[in-house]
Structure 1
Amino acid sequence: MHQPTSAFPISAYQQELAQLIQRHAPSEGIHVSAVAGLHFRRISHETEPAHTANVPSLYVIAQGAKAVTFGDETYSCDVLDCLVTSVHLPVSGRITQASPGFPYLSVQLEFSLDMIMDIIKASQQKWDGKTGPGFLVSSSTPSLLDAVIRLIKLLDTPDDIPFLAPLILHEILYRVMQSEQGSIIRQFALIGSQAQRITKAVHLISRDYSKPFLIEELAQEVNMSPSALHKQFKKVTAMSPLQFQKVIRLQAARRIMLTEDLEAAEAGFRVGYESPSQFSREYARLFGRPPMSDVKHLRASMNTPEA
């Protein structure tokens, strides 16, 4: 049983969290748990940048370190750092500290805006009205770690999960919303807020990424002026709407080439590019290599045995 959080050193929480993750993630990669939305990561080597589209989630690093690039900013994320993504965002992550004897370990907890709205209603928490980024890094707190550990321990008593997991999940989100990330999350759950309109714009672009769009039409869809949409969209995603669409397209093309073995030109057309040369140029700018060279490199790295 945990001691009171005020008397329990945060390093002890870190050690217990790392031990739990190692137990539930005994091998490399991502491990899905019996608690909905709760995942574990174990990586035993430093990695090249991996480009992903993050879903609304809380991440806590228990061991190792990583660098996350969001827009033009790169954040160094260390042990006990807490990463919150409040809207679907394309980001780049690179493990910077890991080895077979000291693997990178982290826990991810996905959440929905409905959960956030429930907490706002129950706690009557306020929002300052400002629009902020959809991604933030800060330090974990003992009370947050205590709740995360208790949620993970439910995996040892599966019969308790249906009843207790939702309660602990709400506690975790409540703790997050009491911290500096609170206003960042609240803005996306409040009807009529600029951030909620941007969330809708993100959804529309992500859903129809292969189709061209006019900023004026998108602005009308989300009930904003074109200038306000452009400004607020960049605040939340660190990109303009067109830049956001480009990254989503290129990530989709990379995934298609890996899974369907398509040539670069065909993948480019599939995601909305009309010019193969433009596709190759923009792909290389984002991923560091031309399309087919990048895919060949990725396949080779996937087939490399662990040290």
Structure 2
Amino acid sequence: MSEQIYNQQLELAKLIERHTGRDGVHATAIPSLSFTRQSNVTGPTYGVHDPSLCIVVQGEKEVLLARERFRYGPADYLVASIDLPVTGQVIEASSDVPYLALKLEFTPSQVLEVLSDSEIGAGPKKNAKRAMFVSRMELSLLDAVIRLARLLENPKDIPVLAPLFTKEIIYRVLQGQHGVALAQIAIEGSGTYRIREVIQYIMKNYDKSFRIEELAEIANMSISSLHRHFKEVTAMSPIQFQKQLRLQEARRLLLSESTDAADVAFRVGYESPSQFSREYSRMFGFPPREDIKRLKSKYDQRINA
């Protein structure tokens, strides 16, 4: 890591500390930008990773997409170009040197705007790319990110300058090692673009059964081509993708509502409570009732600490 990058990350760390102050995820005055502070290594957390750029300035994080691991720290950045169900874990953090990170969300239309205004090629339309990647941090990207974060010190500048700096950040990522993977989410007709439409359909209808022929029709692909492209983009099959969405939503419902596992199983689309319990245990390591009891106990301990 160059001395310039190191110095800029120190400045960014101070900015994040100033606008967080305590552990957790913190929204900022820039709607698409959030900061995270964590003073301990965490257990796995489950959720849908929306399209965004993630930068760690202190500590280290690991993200699991199906069985594929993405590990990144201050020398790297991570990009998700499509909504993806993932498992995340802070693997390096302490009270003296807390984990500090930022997340900048973006949309395919923002990516398309940058592509339209530049001469960056999107690559072959047919070759779908993995919708998550880790790249080495570059000074030009970090410089744009810092200028965006500095706007929090001068909020009156945010409406005018935040969109410009965000556009520059997307441009820098598109110029990077895996820029083609980001570009393809915005290019109509690309394999990634068509798989994005299938993902949107599954996310809206995760609790309903579907025929693979329906998904192939949405993507305008053969069934075999759909399977191949979907797995290339998401590292899983459409059925596995839907299952992760169902189980994540089931866990959220069990945590937030006083309801039993069988009722939740039916609400998220399972026809068999016993199958739901088996698959829940396989994903989260514990049967539903035991898992929720364990999570609530951990939460109570944090609140009373």
Partner of 1:26: 21
Structure 2: where are the runs of 5+ without partners? none
Query: Which residue pairs with 2:278 in the alignment?
Result: 281
**1:304 and 2:301 matched:** yes
Q: Write out per-residue CA displacement over residues 145-170 of structure 1, whole angstroms, 9 at most, x where no aligned residue.
A: 11111101101111111101100000
Mapped partners of 1:261, 1:142: distance in 2: 49
Which of 215, 219, 223 aligns to 1:222? It is 219
- How well do the aligned residues superpose, as a CA RMSD in angstroms? 1.3
Deviations 1:101-143 (A, max 9, x none): 2111100000001110011111021122121100001121111
More moved, 109-118 vs 97-106: 97-106
Indicate the residue corresponding to 2:165 in structure 1.
Answer: 168
Give per-residue Cα distances to partners, 1:30-54, cap 9 Å, x unaligned: 0000112100000111111111101
**Corresponding residue of 1:4:** none
Alpha-carbon distance between aligned partners in 1 of 2:267 and 2:204, rounded to the nearest angstrom: 14
Measured in 2, the distance between the counterparts of 1:77 and 1:8 equals: 19
Q: Does 1:291 align with 2:288?
A: yes
Deviations 1:40-69 (A, max 9, x none): 000111111111101000000000111111
Matches within 5 A, 1:1-307: 9-129=4-124, 130-305=127-302
Q: TM-score, normalised by structure 2?
A: 0.96
Q: Is the 8 A contact 1:284 1:291 kept in 2?
A: yes
Cα drift, residue 181 of structure 1: 2.4
Distance in 2 of aligned mates of 1:151 and 1:86: 20
CA distance in structure 2 between the partners assigned to 1:76 and 1:162 by the alignment: 34
Contact 1:84 1:181 in 2 (8 A): no
Q: Which runs of 4+ in 1 moved over 6 A?
A: none
3-state secondary structure, aligned to 1:109:
strand
Q: Which amino acid aligns with 1:291?
A: P
Provide the rounded CA distance (Å) in 2 between the counterparts of 1:115 and 1:290: 42
CA contact (8 A) 1:60 1:81 kept: yes
Aligned to 1:35, the other structure's residue is in SS state: coil
Counterpart of 2:70 in 1: which secondary structure? Answer: strand
Which amino acid is the alignment partner of residue 204 of structure 1? Y
In structure 1, runs of 5+ residues without a counterpart are 1-6
CA contact (8 A) 1:60 1:80 kept: no
CA contact (8 A) 2:147 2:165 kept: yes
In structure 1, how many angstroms separate the alpha carbons of the residues matched to 2:232 and 2:90?
Answer: 26
Letter in 2 for 1:224: M
Larger CA deviation: 67-76 vs 174-183: 67-76
SS in structure 2 of the partner of residue 9 of structure 1 = helix
Count of matched residue positions in the alignment of Structure 1 and Structure 2: 301
Give a deviation string over 1:249-286, Cα, whole Å, max 9, x none. Answer: 00000001111122111111100001111000000111
2:70–2:133 CA contact under 8 A, matched in 1: no
Whole-Å Cα distance in 1 between the matches of residues 137 and 129 of structure 2? 20
- Give the distance between the partners of 2:136 and 2:40, measured in 1 at CA: 24
Q: Is the 8 A contact 1:65 1:98 kept in 2?
A: yes
The separation in 2 between residues aligned to 1:195 and 1:84, in whole angstroms, is 15
